[in-house]
Amino acid sequence: MSLPAPYRPVSFDGPPHPFIVLEGVSGIGKSTLAQALTRRLGATSLHTLPAPHTDWATLVNRRLHALPQFAFYLSGLLHAADSIRLARMVGPVVADRYASSVVACHAAVHKIAVEEVAQLLQPFRPYLETPTRTFYLGCSEAALRERLAVKNDVKQDDLDLFAVPGRLARLLADFRAVQAADPTAVALDTTDKSPDDLADRITAHLEAHGA
């Protein structure tokens, strides 16, 4: 679907720099890896949802029903796309979460099929920046528990992974479904790997594929 002129994304001249996305469940190490990659690539780092949305997320999750909650996350995603579009004209961009998290996490929390959430997002896809690569981080459950045990900024999403019955299994299944439909997807097992090890693998992958 073509967007009306006022809603179309701003275009910039010149080829854009790489746009790398890190996806996976809470606590798996996305933020730490994003920091390592940002230093390695001289990139701009961004978290989806970016400010000001990130400051409202807790209240939104408590107060809003499923559809307005999705609209809030969609708004944050579109705002992130604007920031990414501008930043990648200057240099590489590394995003901690992006569209895949909006779909997989919303589907898991509200027990909705991933395909139904993806269908809600579909009309807005033309506005989004397409990642150069999306790295889906995985690890063993034991490794995930160890990482959460030493995480400094534990959030409700982290606690809910094991406190809410079936949440982790549902999230993992939903991320697998989103990954399977993502042409930019690259699976990356993080078990027993340091952030620098993973950054080495990602940069080698990008260089090998001319990204």
**Given this model, what pLDDT does residue 5 score?**
86
The C-alpha angle with vertex 10 and arms to 120 and 119, in degrees rounded to 5, equals: 10
Q: Is the pLDDT of residue 3 over 80?
A: no
Choices 3.10.310.70, 1.10.10.10, 3.90.190.20, 3.40.50.300: CATH for 17-208:
3.40.50.300
Name the nearest CA neighbour of 143 among 165, 173, 108, 168: 168
**Given this model, what pLDDT does residue 29 score?**
94
Q: Is the pLDDT of residue 137 over 70?
A: yes
Name the nearest CA neighbour of 30 among 39, 18, 21: 21
Quick: pLDDT tens for 54-98.
999 989 999 999 999 999 999 999 999 999 999 999 999 999 999
**Given this model, what pLDDT does residue 13 score?**
79
Cβ neighbors of 150 (< 8 A, separation 6 or more) are none
Identify the three-state secondary structure at position 204.
helix
Mean pLDDT, the chain, integer: 94
> pLDDT tier at 1 (50, 70, 90 boundaries)?
low
- % residues pLDDT > 70 (the chain): 100
Where residue 140 falls (left for φ over 0; alpha for ψ -120 to 50; beta otherwise) is: beta
